[in-house]
Structure formats: C-alpha cells, structure tokens
Amino acid sequence: MPDEISDHINRVRRRLEDVTDPGTNMNVMSMGIIRNLAMTDDGVLTMQLRPSSTVCPLVVPLAFRIKKAVEELEGINIVKITVVDHRMAESVTALLNEGDGHS
C-alpha cells in the first residue's frame, strides 16, 4: 500500500501544479502554500493550505479550486484541507470540510 499511496500523492502534486493562485498566476505547488500532503489507505487525502498572506482575500475560492481539482482524481474519496496562518483559518477550514463526515 505505501507505493500506491505514494503514487496517489504524486498524482495530487501534479494536479496541483495546474491550480493557479488568482492573485499571482503562479501554481500553488510552486508557491509552496500546500503542505503536509498525506493519504490514508481508505482514500482520505489531507493537506494544509497556508495562504501567502494572513489576510489573503482569495483564500476561500482558491481553497475550493484546490479541493475540486484533487477530489476528481481516482482513488481520492475525501479531501480534507486545513487552512493555517490566516485570520479566518478556522471558519474557512470548517466551510471546506463540512459534510465530509471527517471534520
């Protein structure tokens, strides 16, 4: 299973290279704002999103773009994103993960 999980994580990284931050037009992987990517055997993908600013006004739409991009990948059953170092981190995290059964 570790090799399979590693393959999934690599596919997630590649997919996230296609997601751009609307404020910078850089991909989120190049910006280094995605951290601690991990996946369980049952397809739960977790990650941290650390916006480039603690007051980034685009954190909500960007976070949903990230979530949508990776939840379309085969083998990913749940995507759980934790926003960190943002003034609205707790509320944005709750909004992103509501209804997934794992928040």
- The pLDDT of residue 5: 87
Please check whether residue 42 lies inside any domain of the structure: yes
- The pLDDT of residue 103: 42
Long-range contacts of 49-53 (CB under 8 A, 24+ apart): 49/81, 49/82, 49/83, 49/84, 50/83, 50/84, 50/85, 50/86, 51/83, 51/85, 51/86, 52/21, 52/23, 52/24, 53/86
- Mean pLDDT throughout 49-61? 94
The model's pLDDT over 1-51, given as tens digits with 9 standing for 90+, comes to 578 889 999 999 999 999 999 889 999 999 999 999 999 999 999 999 999
- The pLDDT of residue 39: 96
Please check whether residue 14 lies inside any domain of the structure: yes
Please check whether residue 70 lies inside any domain of the structure: yes
Quote the mean pLDDT of the chain.
Answer: 92
Do 83 and 66 contact (CB within 8 A), yes or no?
no
Please check whether residue 12 lies inside any domain of the structure: yes
In sequence order, which residues have a C-beta less than 8 Å from that of residue 6 and are 6 or more positions away? none
CATH of the domain at 57: 3.30.300.130
Number of domains making up the chain: 1
Whether the pLDDT of residue 86 is over 50: the answer is yes
Q: What is the pTM of this model?
A: 0.90
Task: State the residue range of the domain holding 89.
Answer: 2-97
Please check whether residue 22 lies inside any domain of the structure: yes
Whether the pLDDT of residue 69 is over 70: the answer is yes
Please check whether residue 16 lies inside any domain of the structure: yes
Please check whether residue 87 lies inside any domain of the structure: yes
Please check whether residue 103 lies inside any domain of the structure: no
